[in-house]
Chain A
Amino acid sequence: MLLKDQIAIVTGGSRGIGRACVEALAKEGAKVAFVYKGSADAAAKLEADVAAAGGVAKAIQGDVADPATGQRVVEEVVKMWGRLDILVNNAGVIRDGLFVRMSADDWRTVMGTNLDGVFYFCRAAADVMVMKQKSGRIVNVSSVAADHVNAGQTNYAASKGGINAFTRALAVECAKRNVTVNAVAPGFIETDMSEAVRNKAGDAIAKMIPMKRLGKPADIASVVVFLCSPAAAYMTGQLLTVDGGLSLGASVG
Chain B
Amino acid sequence: MSQDEIFGKVKEVLVDALSVDDDQVTLASRLQADLDAESIDFLDIVFRLEREFGIKIDRNELFPESVFQGDPEFVQDGKVTPKGLSELRERMPFADLATFEKNPKFDQIGDLFTVDLIVKYIASKLPA
**Size bracket, chain A contacts:** under 10
Q: Is B38 a contact of A176 with CB atoms below 8 Å? A: yes
Give, as a whole number of angstroms, the nearest-CB distance from B57 to chain A. 16
Cα A177 to Cα B44 in complex, Å, equals: 11
Task: Mark each residue of chain A from 103 to 147: 1 if its CB lies under 8 Å from any CB of chain B, else 0.
Answer: 000000000000000000000000000110010000000000000
Q: How many residues of B contact A (CB 8 A)?
A: 7
**B interface majority secondary structure:** helix
Q: Is A134 a contact of B19 with CB atoms below 8 Å? A: yes
Cα A130 to Cα B17 in complex, Å, equals: 11
Give, as a whole number of angstroms, the nearest-CB distance from B19 to chain A. 7
B12-70 residues with Cβ-Cβ distance < 8 A to A are 19, 36, 38, 40-41, 44, 47
Question: Within 8 Å CB of A173, what residues of B?
Answer: 40
Question: Within 8 Å CB of B36, what residues of A?
Answer: 176
Question: Within 8 Å CB of A130, what residues of B?
Answer: 40
Which residue of chain A lies nearest to B43 when distances are taken between CB atoms in the complex? A131
Question: Within 8 Å CB of A134, what residues of B?
Answer: 19
Cα A15 to Cα B5 in complex, Å, equals: 56
Total cross-chain contacts (CB, 8 A): 10
Q: Is A131 a contact of B38 with CB atoms below 8 Å? A: no
Give, as a whole number of angstroms, the nearest-CB distance from A135 to chain B. 11
Question: A131, A176, A177: which contacts B47 (Cβ < 8 A)?
Answer: A131
B91-116 residues with Cβ-Cβ distance < 8 A to A are none
Cα A69 to Cα B8 in complex, Å, equals: 40
Give, as a whole number of angstroms, the nearest-CB distance from B81 to chain A. 33
Question: Within 8 Å CB of A131, what residues of B?
Answer: 44, 47
Which residue of chain A lies nearest to B37 when distances are taken between CB atoms in the complex? A176
Give, as a whole number of angstroms, the nearest-CB distance from B27 to chain A. 24
Which residue of chain B lies nearest to A130 when distances are taken between CB atoms in the complex? B40
Cα A130 to Cα B47 in complex, Å, equals: 13
Cα A131 to Cα B40 in complex, Å, equals: 9
Question: Within 8 Å CB of B47, what residues of A?
Answer: 131
Hey, which bits of chain B sit against chain A, CB under 8 A?
19, 36, 38, 40-41, 44, 47
Additional A-B contacts beyond A131-B47, A176-B41 (6; CB < 8 A): A131-B44, A134-B19, A173-B40, A176-B36, A176-B38, A176-B40
Hey, which bits of chain A sit against chain B, CB under 8 A?
130-131, 134, 173, 176-177
Instruction: List 10 contacting pairs A-B, 8 Å CB cutoff, sorted by A.
Output: A130-B40, A131-B44, A131-B47, A134-B19, A173-B40, A176-B36, A176-B38, A176-B40, A176-B41, A177-B40
- Please give me the 5 A-B residue pairs with the lowest Cβ-Cβ distance, nearest first: A176-B38, A131-B44, A173-B40, A130-B40, A131-B47
